[in-house]
Amino acid sequence: MSTLYNQLPAIDRLLREPALQALSAQYGASFLTQILRAMQQQARDTIRQQQQLPHWHSNWAQEAASRLAQRSRSALRPVFNLTGTVLHTNLGRARLAEQAIEAVSQTARHAVTLEYALDEAERGHRDRALADLLCELTGAEDACIVNNNAAAVLLMLSALAPGKEVIVSRGELVEIGGAFRMPDVMRQAGCLLHEVGATNRTHLKDYRSAVNEQTALLMKVHTSNYQIQGFTKAVDEAELVTLGDELGLPVITDLGSGSLIDLSRYGLPAEPMPQQLIASGVSLVSFSGDKLLGGPQAGIIVGKKDLIARLQQHPLKRALRVDKLTLAALEATLRLYRQPEQLHESLPTLRLLTRTQESLQQQAERLLPPLQARWGDVYHLAIAPCFSQIGSGSLPVDRLPGYAITFAPKDGRGSSLEALAQRWRKLSIPVIGRLQEGRLWLDLRCLEDESLFLRTLTS
């Protein structure tokens, strides 16, 4: 065994080899030395446990290069999203428009007027420029931006109802991803949840009878991630605003995945819009930036000026504020809404949602022959109609008709599909599909770069 240990090269000798000197120039001497020491320790462990040298012992440079490349790979890697979910929570939700990407790049490269008012040559507020734009688009008096919609709800409750009651319909006590529940948010904000109505039916009289001297807010929560059907009744915002005006209580709404456009114009399921709720008199409306809006992750609050001022002055606002890159991306995205007639082309989210079934079928017919040539010996490939979904956490029950290419193993073994899916996840650009009904489905709705996809999957 000592003979095997003697065959392990010294680190300083390895570092003098030309191939490893090239790696040192590329990755840095310190990083390379760290990798070589780990390899050396692994080799000693292999000798001790198996009485043999590791399989890569004859080529330390090649093994070091592989490990350096693996360790240097970004944790946030581009993937082909062929799951059929456009706003996929685990895959980053909305893809940014090119204008937003350029804005982020410019903001990252230069000093910017984040909190500097050029006219007065003094400190300004980082939300101001976007607040003016949001007011223009929604008709609100003022706006506030935080890091996501859960933070927006937390800030509204913490600033406006600490130690007080907030009245919410029992059918709107939603849970979003990661077991994050509305009652938990209220507890964290120091509010007292006052549930009214039943799971399926809530009436205006339920809110009225629940109001007392401890009531601070009437709240609506848009149930975008589930539906209750059948014998149902809900109170809309306009009715609740009338009651709130009568009793002197603000009405706030958590819209979740709020859209700034009428989606029904594009043949998509209609969603309530912030500007509609503002027009109906709702005091504050919160919604996400990275869902149907098509921008970066952010929580947006629009509404009455005096209430927004209270949010801006609350200590939590500083903890929840967004950085300059998010603001740059969000501003560029919002500016696209000034040209709604071009939005279906300029905004990736809307572009993907509005792809026609016919265009997806044509794409499948173009892709099938080269994929058949590469994978047809082992798998049955077919073009199949399918239904995509808008989001995994937002509008998950609404379906969009489309087409997919499916792979079924000729040997009939499900393990073959699992192995194929795993293999594709290890590609230079991972391909993420879905396993369903004994087939691996590649839903084409989110695939735009066909040539890169084919190079990746057929190489």
Pick the last residue of a domain from 346, 380, 396: 346
Residue 130: which CATH number? 3.40.640.10
pLDDT higher than 70, residue 60: yes
pLDDT higher than 60, residue 438: yes
State residue 274's pLDDT score.
96
Pick the last residue of a domain from 346, 378, 395: 346
- If DSSP codes are grouped into helix, strand and coil, which group holds residue 106? helix
Residue 49 — very low, low, confident or very high, per pLDDT cuts 50/70/90?
A: very high
Does one domain contain both 266 and 309? Answer: yes
Q: Which amino acid, residue 250?
A: P
pLDDT higher than 90, residue 405: yes
Does one domain contain both 367 and 234? Answer: no
Does one domain contain both 22 and 119? Answer: no
Does one domain contain both 58 and 120? Answer: no
Alpha-carbon distance of 347 to 87, in angstroms, equals 13
Q: How many residues does the chain have?
A: 459
Measured at the CA of 216, the angle between CA 211 and CA 220, to 5 degrees, comes to 80
Does one domain contain both 268 and 152? Answer: yes
Alpha-carbon distance of 199 to 201, in angstroms, equals 6
State residue 198's pLDDT score.
81
State residue 122's pLDDT score.
79
Pick the last residue of a domain from 315, 346, 377: 346
CB 311 within 8 A of CB 151: no
State residue 395's pLDDT score.
53
Does one domain contain both 130 and 164? Answer: yes
Q: Report which DSSP code applies to 218.
A: E
Summary mean pLDDT of the chain: 92
Query: At which residue do the structure tokens 């401890």 appear?
Result: 214
Mean pLDDT comparison of 119-123, 179-183, 395-399, highest-scoring range: 119-123
Q: What is the pLDDT of residues 80-109, one digit of tens each?
A: 999 999 999 999 999 999 999 999 999 999
pTM: 0.90
Residue 263 — very low, low, confident or very high, per pLDDT cuts 50/70/90?
A: very high
State residue 116's pLDDT score.
84
Helix %, strand %, coil % of the chain (to 5): 45, 20, 35
Does one domain contain both 215 and 339? Answer: yes
Alpha-carbon distance of 304 to 130, in angstroms, equals 16
What is the token pair recorded at 174? 């939603």
Does one domain contain both 159 and 143? Answer: yes
Average pLDDT over residues 20-33: 96
- If DSSP codes are grouped into helix, strand and coil, which group holds residue 114? coil
What is the token pair recorded at 396? 């998950």
Q: What is the pLDDT of residues 157-199, one digit of tens each?
A: 999 999 999 999 988 887 766 566 788 888 888 999 899 888 7
Average pLDDT over residues 48-59: 92
Q: Are strands 439-443 and 434-436 parallel, antiparallel or unpaired?
A: antiparallel
State residue 1's pLDDT score.
63
Does one domain contain both 329 and 420? Answer: no
Average pLDDT over residues 131-152: 96
Q: Which residue range forms the structural domain that includes residue 147?
A: 98-346
* Lowest mean per-residue pLDDT among 1-5, 89-93, 152-156: 1-5
- Of residues 97 and 225, more confidence is placed in 97
* Lowest mean per-residue pLDDT among 91-105, 262-276, 438-452: 262-276
Q: What is the pLDDT of residues 344-392, one digit of tens each?
A: 999 999 999 999 999 999 999 999 999 999 999 999 999 999 999 998 6
Query: At which residue do the structure tokens 């350096």 appear?
Result: 68
State residue 197's pLDDT score.
85
Does one domain contain both 367 and 327? Answer: no
Residue among 348, 317, 319, 308 at smallest CA distance from 332:
348
Residue 397 — very low, low, confident or very high, per pLDDT cuts 50/70/90?
A: low
Does one domain contain both 172 and 309? Answer: yes
Does one domain contain both 105 and 253? Answer: yes
- Of residues 136 and 184, more confidence is placed in 136
Residue 416 — very low, low, confident or very high, per pLDDT cuts 50/70/90?
A: confident
CB 308 within 8 A of CB 296: no
pLDDT higher than 80, residue 230: no
pLDDT higher than 70, residue 396: no
Residue 86: which CATH number? 3.90.1150.180
How many domains does one find in the chain?
3
